[in-house]
Amino acid sequence: MGVLVLNSLSQFLRDYPGMSTAPCSDAGVCLRGKFRFKADVSGNDEIDDSYKLEIVVPDKFPQALPKVKETGGKIPRDGNFHVNQDGTLCLGSPLRLLRKVHSAPNLPGFADKCLVPYLYAVSYKLMHGGDFVFGELAHGDQGIVDDYSVMLGLKERPQVTQAIQLLGIKKRIANKRPCPCGCGKRLGACPFHHKLNEFRKMAPVSWFKAHALNDRNRI
């Protein structure tokens, strides 16, 4: 079990006493049980609700993100609630989640910033219908590209693709490549490299390289 996971596990279990550790086939820790939360959003209802969850937290957390499954059958699998094909919950685009967790790199932070907002939106939608209260991304690869465009300040899909590819190679090499912003300069000579360097602080090169290859089939 990773040090960061171990250090924050006891606080998570105190915050969510319906959850407990369980046997895990993957490296890391598995949490199962009833996840109860209370949350509100300005202008919307306070919601006190619970879901049966399985949370697999990898040893490399927070650089590797937890995978969450809802096991009680409460969330519809009709394509309208952002459940991935493998049964995991789509809590947001991977890069967005990475940035949220980086700001609070522990299990309570992951729950507060990533998991509770998603479950609140699901509960609100089940109660009232309509769209997710926090907004929602388009399904599949397009939603990820749209969100990354906002995060990176880039307009075109090829620019976004190029930026993620540059994060997937060593900085000294990436800085010699053309900048994805379209300025015509190499990355190291353009202020845009500062933005990419902020993301480099959040995860190793291997994370971005693997992400570019493996996260294209998410809903």
Cβ(163)–Cβ(154) below 8 Å: yes
Return per-residue pLDDT of the chain as tens, 219 residues: 555 566 789 899 999 999 999 888 777 799 999 999 999 876 678 999 999 999 999 888 888 889 999 999 999 998 889 898 899 999 988 899 999 999 888 999 999 999 999 999 999 999 988 888 777 666 667 788 889 999 999 989 999 999 999 999 999 999 999 999 999 999 999 999 999 999 999 989 998 988 774 444 333
| Phi, psi dihedrals of residue 192, rounded to the nearest 5° | -60, -25
Same-domain check for residues 158 and 199:
yes
In a domain, 175, yes or no: yes
List Cβ neighbours of 10 (8 Å cut-off, separation of 6 or more).
Answer: none
Q: Are 93 and 174 part of one and the same domain?
A: no
68 lies in some domain = yes
Task: Tell me the C-alpha distance between 144 and 180, whole Å.
Answer: 17
**Of the residues 82, 101, 128, which one is the last residue of a structural domain?**
128
Q: Which of 84, 108, 128 is the last residue of a domain?
A: 128
173 three-state secondary structure = helix
Residue after which a domain boundary falls, among 107, 128, 149: 128
Residue among 147, 133, 154 nearest 196 (CA): 154
For residues 135 and 121, the answer to whether their CB atoms sit within 8 Å is no
Range of the domain at 147: 140-214
Could you say which DSSP state residue 63 is in?
Answer: T
> Do residues 11 and 103 share a domain?
yes
- Domain assignment present for residue 165? The answer is yes
